[in-house]
Structure 1
Amino acid sequence: MRYQEWLDSLSIEAFFLSFILITVVVAECGYRIGRWWQFRTPGDKEGPTNMIVGSLLGLLAFLLAVTMGMASDRFDTRRVMVLTEANVIGTTYLRAGFLPENEASETRALLDEYVPLRIVLNDPQDVPDRINRSLELHNELWAIAERLAKSMPESDILALYIESLNELIDIHQSRLTAGIYARLPGTVLLLLLASSVLTLAMVGYSAGLTGRRSPLTAIGMIVVLGAVITLLLDLERPRSGLVTVNQQPIIDLQQSITTDAGET
């Protein structure tokens, strides 16, 4: 959706500052409307405004908790996928040693090229190229396995290697889905932002009706709410932001493979 693409185009810092600025203006507008209404109808009672504001704050807290849980689950899935893929690639690299010498060298050279492609950098621009090259390497690795399977159809050792290679290809799609396609629904993010703005406007309006407010408290609530929503948005972004999935398992694997290739 377009508004989700617009959110993705903002840096985390820009989103936080924009949220603070917009909500401060909204809360101030709500306060001034409340004061204007109170001066216009001085004899009217406030009504259940405080109760409504309390209900809105409770609903906003519930929505924040649910959305944060969804974003955290997706972040944990991406983190687990990194470790799982590192293990699968490492097993495939080791089992490639079971292959005949020429095929083993060719396979390990392809895996040596493959591993750096699986390290996610904070640069969304190169992601399509990395994905395309990964798919090309899958095809090359599978072509070698097919050639060997036709010449060694009864080999149990080859079957072990092909099993690992199949897992390597499968985990690529699983990680791609978890990292790129499994995003929070844009409607949920829009509802959260709209609820935050509406709630802060009502808080300002309620303060305007009573004529009593604490600017420091209001700013503090806005900053804390903005920080929580910014953290949620950061967790939900797979390729950029301040909170990113640690790529150390694959980096360690790359160093291990490089060392092994150098010794060989």
Structure 2
Amino acid sequence: MEPTTAAGLFGEITVSAFTLWQVLLLLGLTPPLAIWAGHTLGRRRRTRLLAEGMGVEPFLSDATLGAFMALLGLLLAFTFGNALTVAQSIKGSITDEAAVIGTAFLRADYLEEPVRTELQVALLDYGRSRVVPKGTSTTKIADVHAFVDRSLQAQAKLWPLTLKGTQDPFPAPLKGFVAGAVNDVLDAHLYRMATLSVPLASFMQLVVYLSIMVSLFLLGNNVGMVGNPMTWRLFSLALFMATTMYCVIDIRRGNEGLLRVDDAPLRATVFDMEQALKGRI
């Protein structure tokens, strides 16, 4: 299979539909707006009920509010925990990939020239292709496929060079020693690919967002119904919920968000390979 078409097989990779600025704007404005709308409607209903000589207490939705807040707490806990797990997986996959690329590069020293340098240069090119530039947006699936395609084109050179360098009469123990390291590099690609998708599907993000909005609306409505004014406590709760949701979304944007993924091991491996080849290429 051609490497330029293999990237299309990763069609199930999911990316975020909005930029981080759009997410920040949405989460910064709509939760306080939900509290304000709920409080305004609650005050109006309280005024109407009192004007009609009716009590307010029978119309309060304490049970509904409590149920929504409990559900929201579970959703935020699970989604935030899942996002943290994904973040650790991303960091682990990058570190593991840096380790196997560096190991394969060193074991290639057992090969004879010129294959030794050819394979090491190919490993260097492949390592460079695995580094995602800082600030790169991940909102377009075409960009993700382009990254995968570049890596697959560089990866396609590794195994043929390995076979070329380990042909007979190359010692059999060294064949497994060198080829096993290159095979680990190829396998690490699959684990890295598994971390490219967002930690939460768009539908699940929408469910959590709607839960936040409904819960804050009901909270503001209850406060308005009992005649209490809006205070900073209500808006601080909205800010905390919005911040939590933003972290869930931001944590996957390891190259452009506030919570950056540390890819220093991979960059350091690439730098070490460049230094090792500086006198030969």
TM-score, normalised to structure 2's length?
0.84
Please point out which of 10, 16, 19 is paired with 1:10.
19
Aligned residues: 258
The answer to whether the aligner puts 1:163 opposite 2:180 as a matched pair is yes
Q: Residue deviations 1:162-193, cap 9 Å, x none? A: 11111101111210121x23631222211110
The answer to whether the aligner puts 1:63 opposite 2:53 as a matched pair is no
RMSD over aligned Cα atoms? 2.1
Higher helix share: 1
Counterpart position of 1:129? 146
Within-5 A mapping of 1:94-243: 94-121=106-133, 122-124=135-137, 127-152=144-169, 155-178=172-195, 180-181=196-197, 183-243=199-259
SS where residue 181 of structure 1 aligns? Answer: coil
Distance 2:270 2:227 in 1: 64
Distance 2:78 2:177 in 1: 43
Give the share of equivalent positions with the same residue, in percent.
Answer: 22
Counterpart position of 2:96? 84
Q: CA deviation at 1:71?
A: 0.5
Unaligned runs of 5+ in 2: 1-13
Within-5 A mapping of 1:34-73: 34-42=42-50, 43-47=54-58, 49-73=61-85
Report if aligned partners of 2:42, 2:220 keep a CA contact under 8 Å in 1. yes
Q: Residue deviations 1:206-250, cap 9 Å, x none? A: 011111033322221111211111111111335431112111101
For residue 192 of structure 1, what is the amino acid of its counterpart? V
For residue 123 of structure 1, what is the amino acid of its counterpart? T
Distance 1:58 1:176 in 2: 35
Within-5 A mapping of 1:238-257: 238-257=254-273
For residue 193 of structure 2, what is the amino acid of its counterpart? L
For residue 263 of structure 2, what is the amino acid of its counterpart? Q
TM-score, normalised to structure 1's length?
0.89
SS where residue 153 of structure 2 aligns? Answer: helix
Q: CA deviation at 1:54?
A: 2.8
Report if aligned partners of 2:40, 2:224 keep a CA contact under 8 Å in 1. yes
Report if aligned partners of 1:114, 1:134 keep a CA contact under 8 Å in 2. yes
SS where residue 9 of structure 1 aligns? Answer: coil
Q: CA deviation at 1:41?
A: 2.2
SS where residue 114 of structure 2 aligns? Answer: helix
**Larger CA deviation: 64-73 vs 110-119:** 110-119
Distance 2:275 2:255 in 1: 28
Q: CA deviation at 1:108?
A: 0.8
**Larger CA deviation: 144-153 vs 50-59:** 144-153
Distance 2:238 2:81 in 1: 21
Report if aligned partners of 2:39, 2:230 keep a CA contact under 8 Å in 1. no
Distance 1:198 1:182 in 2: 24
Report if aligned partners of 2:28, 2:239 keep a CA contact under 8 Å in 1. yes
Q: CA deviation at 1:50?
A: 2.6
Q: Describe the shift of the 1:147–1:259 C-alpha distance in structure 2 as closer, same or farther (beyond 3 A).
A: closer
SS where residue 242 of structure 1 aligns? Answer: coil
For residue 252 of structure 2, what is the amino acid of its counterpart? E
